[in-house]
Amino acid sequence: MQTRKVAVVTGSNKGIGYAIVKGLCENFFGDVYLTARDVSRGQRAVENLKHIGFLPLFHQLDIVSETSVKDLKDYIEKEHGGIDLLINNASVGTSGSAEDIIQINYFGTLRVCNALFPLLRDNAKVINISSSAGRLQRIPSTELRAKFKDPKLNVASLNELMKTYLNDVKENKAVEKGWGDSPYVVSKVGINALTILHQHVFDLEKPYRNISITSVHPGYVKTDMNKKGTLTTEEGAKAALYLALQAEFKGKYVWFDCQVIDWDGVLPESK
CA atoms within 13 A on the CB side of 125: 24
Number of helices (H) and strands (E) in the chain: give both, helices first.
10, 8
Annotated catalytic residue: which of 18, 106, 165, 184? 184
> Is 184 known to be catalytic?
yes
Distance CA 240, CA 235 (A): 10
Report the Cα 227 to chain-centroid distance in Å.
21
Q: For the CA atoms of 71, 72, 74, 77, what is the dihedral angle to 10 degrees?
A: 170
- Judge whether 68 and 60 are in contact, CB under 8 Å: yes
| DSSP state for residue 89 in the 8-state scheme | -
E-only strand ranges, the chain: 5-9, 30-36, 57-60, 83-88, 120-129, 212-216, 253-254, 260-261
Give one word for 231, left, alpha or beta, with left for phi > 0 and alpha for psi -120 to 50: beta
- Judge whether 195 and 131 are in contact, CB under 8 Å: no
Catalytic positions are 184
